[in-house]
Amino acid sequence: MAIQQLTEEQIQTWTRAQKDEWWFKNIFRGDMPQLTLRSALTGFLLGAVLAATALYVGGKTGIGIGVGLTAVILSFGLFRALHASGLAKDYTILENNCTQSIATAAGYVVAPLYTSLAAYMLITGRIIPWWQMIIWMAVTSILGVLVAFPMKRRFINEDQLPFPEGRASGVVLDALYMGDAATGVFKARLLTLVAGGTALYQAVVSDGWMKLIQFKILRMDQWAGMKEPWHLHERLDTYYYQAAAKAEWWIPKILGTDFRVLGLRLTLDAAMIGVGGLMGIAIATSCLLGAFINFVILAPMMIQLGDIAPRVSPSGALVPLSRAEIVNQWSLWWGVTIMVVGSLTSLLAKPELITSLFKGKKKGAAVASTGPDLLAGIEVPLWISYVGVPVFSVLGAWVTHLFFGVPMFLALVSLPLIFVLTVICTNSMALTSWTPTGALSKITQFTMGAIDRTNPASNLLPAGMTSEIASNAANLLSDIKPGYMLGGKPRHQAIGHIIGIFAGLLACVPLYFLLFLPADANGVRSVSTLVSEQFAMPGALQWKGVAELIARGFNGFPTSALIAMAVAAISAIVIEVLRIVTKGRFPLSAVSIGLGVVLPPESVFAMWVGAMLFWVMGLRHKSVSSPGHRIWVEGCEPICAGLISGAALMGIGNSIVNVIMN
C-alpha cells in the first residue's frame, strides 16, 4: 500500500499545526502496539548482536555499518515464523519499527571504541577503564538524543525532509506488512542461509574453533598425536609460500621488498566481501587505488630511500618492517591528509546544508498557529530537552575533565561548537543520508588544538563528543522518520533509542577488551594490542594522526612525507571538485582513497572483489524479469548482511575461545 504524504505545495504553504492535524487524522495508528516488552527485548538482544558485528567491522575497516534494514528483515522473519508455528502473535508494523530503532542505536553507539577513544589510548598509552568508557559514551549519546527532539519538529513535522535512509526502512516495512509478505520471508531466509554458510567457513579457517573441536571435543591430540589443530588458511597465498620455502621458488618482491612485508596478501575474508557489496564499486575502487598507490608504488620507494626503515623500540628490541610500520612511519600522513581535506571540501561544497537551516518559509506561506498542540500527548515534551541538554552538557564536560584530563574550561568552550556542528550534521542526514561526522570532528580537533596543543585529549575527546552527539542526533531523527511515515509515537522511539544505546554499550565494551585489549599470561593489558594484523583500526589511526599533527606541527617530518601531504591535499580538492562538477558521476572519492592507505591491502582487495561481484551480477540481472534479479539485486543487502554477521560473530567467538583456552 502506498504511504500517504503531503504534496510539495502543502509542505510549503501549510502551517505546522495543519500538517500535524493531517498526520494525526490520516497517518497516526492510535494505540497499535509499538514499544512492547517483546519489541524492546528483541531490539535489545538483536541490537547487542548487530552492535558486536559493527564493532568487528569497525575495527577492521573504520567504517560504521548501518543495521536498520537488517534488523527489520530479521525481526520480521523471526516473528512471522513464530506466528506460523503458533508460538507467538505476529509482530505489528510499529513493533518491528521500534525493534529496528533500538538495534540501529546499538549499532551506532560503538563508533568511539574504534575512533576517538582508541586514538586516545594509542597516544597516551593509558587503557581507559571499562566503566569510564560506558559512562562517557552513555552521557554523550543521551545528549545527542536530547538535542535531536527540538529539531524533530522542524525537520520532520514542519519541513517534511526526506531522510532517505530512514524512508527506505519505512518503505520496506510498509511493503512487508501491507504488501507481499513472501518477499520479506525470502530475504530473511536468504540472510540466514548466507550467515550460516559463512559461519561454517569462518569456523574452518579459525584456529580457536578448530582447537576447541579437535582437541577438547574429539581429543585428537591424545589418540591421533596432533600437536597443532588443522584448519584452512584464510590467506590463500600461504599455501604458495609454504611450497616456495621447500622448493626454493620465486618470492614476489617490489624494489627488493617482500610482498608480505608490504601487506600484499591474498585473503578470502567473507566479512570484507560483504562490506564491499554494501559500499559499491565506486568507493571500493577508490580504496583499491589508494592501497595500490601506497603499498605498490610509494612504500617500496620510501623503503629504498630509507624514509621507512626498521627502528629500535624503547625496550631496545629491533622492530622489523611490516604493513603497520609502513603506515605509522610514513603513509599515515598523506592518507590522513587526503581524507581530511577531501571530507572538508565535500562539506564546504554543500553550503545548502548550512544555509537551509536559516531559510524561512516561502513567500505566501501560512503563519504558524498558536493554538493547542494536537500532538502534545505523543511527542517528547520539549521541556525534557530544555532541562536535559544543559544538565547533560555540564555532566559531559565534567566527566571528560575527570576521566581524561581535559581542562574544564576547554570542555565547556567546545560545547557551543558541538551543538552547531550537530545541527549541520543532522541537516545533512535529512537531505542526503550522509553524516559528515568525520569532517565535523576534525573541525573540533583543529579548533581545540589551536587553544591547547600540549594535551592530545583536549582535541580528541571534544571531537569525540562532536562525533557521538551528532551521530546519535542524526540517526535518531532518521529512525523517527519511518515511525512518522507509519504513524508511530515519537516518545516510544526515543525510549527505544536509549534502550539501544545501553544494549550496544553493555554488549560491546566487555567485547572490546576481549578483542582488542586481551590480558597476557600475567593478566596485564597493553595498548600495543589495539592495532594488529587482524584489526587495523584505520579510524583510530586517522584520529591519532590528526592529534599528532596538531601537537608537533610539521617538525620532524621527512621531506618526502611533506611533499606527499601537499600532493594529497591538492589531489583531494581536485577530486572532490570534479565530483561536484560532474554531479557525482566522477568515479573516485578522496576520502575512500585515503581509507585504502590505512587499511590492510588484503582487506581492500576483498572489499573490491565483493563490490565487483555484486556490480557485475547486478548489471547481468538488472531486469526484473531476469531469474537472478531477486537474488543479486533485491537480495544484495541480505546476502551482504549474512556475510558480515556470519563472519563477524564466528570471528568474535574465535577470539573468545582463544582467550579461554589459553
C-alpha–C-alpha distance, residues 49 and 44, integer Å: 9
Q: What is the pLDDT of residue 364?
A: 44
C-alpha–C-alpha distance, residues 444 and 418, integer Å: 8
Q: Is 571 left (phi over 0), alpha (psi -120 to 50) or beta?
A: alpha
Amino acid sitting at position 647: A
Provide the 8-state DSSP code for 260: H
Q: What is the pLDDT of residue 314?
A: 60
Cβ atoms 294, 330 nearer than 8 A? no
Amino acid sitting at position 244: A
Residue among 375, 495, 302, 274 at smallest CA distance from 28: 375
C-alpha–C-alpha distance, residues 483 and 481, integer Å: 5
Q: What is the pLDDT of residue 395?
A: 92
User: What's the farthest any 2 CA atoms get from each other in the chain?
Assistant: 87
Number of H helices, E strands in the chain: 30, 4
Contacts of range 153-156, beta carbons closer than 8 Å, 24 or more positions apart: 153/16, 153/379, 155/426, 155/427, 155/430, 155/477, 156/477, 156/480, 156/481, 156/484
C-alpha–C-alpha distance, residues 436 and 587, integer Å: 19
Helix, coil or strand: residue 257: strand
Q: Are strands 257-258 and 311-312 parallel, antiparallel or unpaired?
A: unpaired
Q: What is the pLDDT of residue 350?
A: 60
Q: What is the pLDDT of residue 87?
A: 65
**Contacts for 553 with CB less than 8 Å, ≥ 6 apart:** none
Q: Which cell is 277 given?
A: 557489496
Amino acid sitting at position 654: N
Distance of CA 315 to the CA centre of its chain: 36
Helix, coil or strand: residue 546: helix
C-alpha–C-alpha distance, residues 657 and 8, integer Å: 57
Cα angle for residues 293, 299, 301 (degrees, 5° grid): 105
Helix, coil or strand: residue 313: coil
Q: Facing residues of 311 across strands?
A: 319
Could you list the mean pLDDT of each consecutive 10-residue stretch along the chain, which spans 662 residues? 74 83 86 87 88 85 67 74 72 84 84 88 90 93 85 80 73 70 75 88 86 85 79 87 88 92 89 85 90 94 90 72 83 83 73 51 46 72 86 90 85 74 70 60 72 75 80 80 85 88 92 87 84 81 77 74 92 89 84 84 91 92 85 85 83 76 64
Instruction: State the pTM of this model.
Output: 0.77
C-alpha–C-alpha distance, residues 276 and 107, integer Å: 19
